[in-house]
């Protein structure tokens, strides 16, 4: 069975990304994107019990800067180093800096490729 990727969607080059993180795709269009600013991205999620348990374990370990830049920088040395590298070379550690209007969705491996059953993970509301 092929993964549910839209025919015009593009794999985002995130360079050396941790192998346990899912690849990100940029959607050519997305039915749940609510504005004209920014882009729509999605990743594929194994929604079986085993797949969700694996994701939960990963989320307990991985440290990803979140929130406004100042807040991310205040979270400690690890975050500062990761954020500085991400600003200069975002692909070098597999992070993606989002911009105003961007949406990120999660798509089950068993969902249709049109994005109609995707879950919203986040959207950027300010620049």
Rounded to two decimals, the pTM is: 0.76
Where do the structural domains in the chain lie, given as residue ranges? 10-123
- The pLDDT tens digits for 104-113 are 999 999 999 9
Which H or E element spans position 54? helix 49-61
Q: Outline where the chain has alpha helix (H).
A: 49-61, 69-73, 77-88
**Looking at the predicted structure, is the pLDDT value of residue 92 above 50?**
no
pLDDT of residue 11: 92
Percent of the chain with pLDDT over 70: 69
- The pLDDT tens digits for 37-51 are 899 999 999 999 998
pLDDT of residue 9: 95
User: Which single residue is written with the structure tokens 């941790």?
Assistant: 18
pLDDT level of residue 94 (50, 70, 90 thresholds): low
The number of C-alpha atoms within 13 Å of 87 and in the hemisphere containing its C-beta is 10
pLDDT of residue 111: 94
């Amino acid at each position: 069975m092929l993964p549910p990727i839209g025919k015009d969607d593009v794999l985002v080059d995130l360079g050396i990304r941790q192998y346990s993180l899912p690849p990100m795709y940029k959607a050519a269009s997305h039915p749940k994107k609510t504005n004209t600013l920014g882009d729509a991205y999605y990743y594929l999620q194994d929604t079986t019990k085993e797949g969700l348990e694996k994701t939960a374990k990963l989320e307990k370990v991985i440290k990803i800067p979140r929130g406004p830049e100042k807040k991310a920088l205040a979270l400690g040395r690890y975050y500062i180093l990761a954020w500085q590298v991400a600003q200069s070379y975002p692909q070098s550690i597999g992070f993606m800096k989002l911009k105003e209007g961007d949406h990120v969705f999660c798509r089950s491996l068993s969902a249709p490729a049109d994005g109609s059953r995707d879950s919203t993970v986040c959207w950027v509301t300010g620049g």
